Amino acid sequence: MSDKPAFWFPVKQYGWGWGLPVRWQGWVVFVSYLALLYAAIYYFTPRRAPIGLSVSILMLTAVLVVIVAAKGERPLRWRWGKD
Protein backbone atom coordinates (compact mmCIF):
# COMPACT_ATOMS: atom_id res chain seq x y z
CA MET A 1 0.00 0.00 0.00
CA SER A 2 1.13 3.54 -0.70
CA ASP A 3 1.50 6.02 2.13
CA LYS A 4 0.54 8.92 -0.14
CA PRO A 5 -2.81 10.54 0.63
CA ALA A 6 -5.75 9.69 -1.61
CA PHE A 7 -6.81 13.33 -1.92
CA TRP A 8 -5.28 15.71 -4.44
CA PHE A 9 -5.44 18.90 -2.38
CA PRO A 10 -4.73 18.96 1.38
CA VAL A 11 -6.29 21.44 3.78
CA LYS A 12 -4.19 24.45 4.67
CA GLN A 13 -2.18 24.28 7.87
CA TYR A 14 -3.39 27.72 8.95
CA GLY A 15 -6.82 29.11 8.11
CA TRP A 16 -9.61 27.52 6.09
CA GLY A 17 -9.38 26.07 2.60
CA TRP A 18 -6.94 24.07 0.52
CA GLY A 19 -3.24 24.25 -0.14
CA LEU A 20 -1.15 23.34 -3.17
CA PRO A 21 -1.66 19.90 -4.73
CA VAL A 22 0.07 16.82 -3.31
CA ARG A 23 -0.55 14.41 -6.21
CA TRP A 24 0.19 14.68 -9.91
CA GLN A 25 -3.52 14.79 -10.80
CA GLY A 26 -3.92 17.89 -8.67
CA TRP A 27 -0.95 19.51 -10.35
CA VAL A 28 -2.46 18.78 -13.77
CA VAL A 29 -5.70 20.48 -12.68
CA PHE A 30 -3.85 23.46 -11.19
CA VAL A 31 -1.52 24.00 -14.17
CA SER A 32 -4.45 23.58 -16.58
CA TYR A 33 -6.36 26.25 -14.65
CA LEU A 34 -3.40 28.64 -14.89
CA ALA A 35 -2.95 27.94 -18.62
CA LEU A 36 -6.64 28.47 -19.36
CA LEU A 37 -6.62 31.62 -17.26
CA TYR A 38 -3.67 32.94 -19.25
CA ALA A 39 -5.44 32.05 -22.51
CA ALA A 40 -8.59 33.86 -21.38
CA ILE A 41 -6.59 36.97 -20.49
CA TYR A 42 -4.83 36.82 -23.84
CA TYR A 43 -8.05 36.26 -25.82
CA PHE A 44 -10.34 38.62 -23.87
CA THR A 45 -8.15 41.64 -23.34
CA PRO A 46 -9.38 43.81 -20.47
CA ARG A 47 -9.83 46.90 -22.67
CA ARG A 48 -11.54 45.08 -25.56
CA ALA A 49 -13.81 42.60 -23.74
CA PRO A 50 -13.96 43.19 -19.98
CA ILE A 51 -17.24 41.31 -19.56
CA GLY A 52 -15.98 38.29 -21.50
CA LEU A 53 -12.83 38.25 -19.40
CA SER A 54 -14.78 38.51 -16.16
CA VAL A 55 -17.18 35.74 -17.12
CA SER A 56 -14.38 33.43 -18.25
CA ILE A 57 -12.39 34.01 -15.03
CA LEU A 58 -15.48 33.34 -12.91
CA MET A 59 -16.33 30.17 -14.84
CA LEU A 60 -12.78 28.81 -14.73
CA THR A 61 -12.50 29.54 -11.01
CA ALA A 62 -15.87 27.93 -10.30
CA VAL A 63 -14.78 24.77 -12.11
CA LEU A 64 -11.52 24.75 -10.15
CA VAL A 65 -13.33 25.12 -6.81
CA VAL A 66 -15.73 22.28 -7.68
CA ILE A 67 -12.84 19.97 -8.60
CA VAL A 68 -10.84 20.90 -5.50
CA ALA A 69 -13.88 20.41 -3.26
CA ALA A 70 -14.55 17.00 -4.81
CA LYS A 71 -10.95 15.73 -4.79
CA GLY A 72 -9.55 17.60 -1.79
CA GLU A 73 -9.45 16.95 1.92
CA ARG A 74 -12.50 18.33 3.77
CA PRO A 75 -11.78 21.67 5.47
CA LEU A 76 -14.16 21.28 8.40
CA ARG A 77 -12.98 24.14 10.58
CA TRP A 78 -10.47 26.93 10.90
CA ARG A 79 -7.01 25.50 11.55
CA TRP A 80 -4.37 27.02 13.82
CA GLY A 81 -1.38 24.91 12.81
CA LYS A 82 -0.57 21.37 13.90
CA ASP A 83 -3.72 20.27 15.68
Encode pLDDT of 11-54 as tens digits. 888 888 888 999 999 999 999 999 999 999 999 988 999 999 99
Q: Is the pLDDT of residue 1 over 60?
A: no
Q: What is the dihedral of CA 30, 31, 35, 37, to 10 degrees?
A: 20
The reported pLDDT for the residue numbered 79 is 74
Query: What pTM does this model have?
Result: 0.83
Alpha carbon distance 37, 53 (integer Å)? 9
Q: Is the pLDDT of residue 82 over 80?
A: no
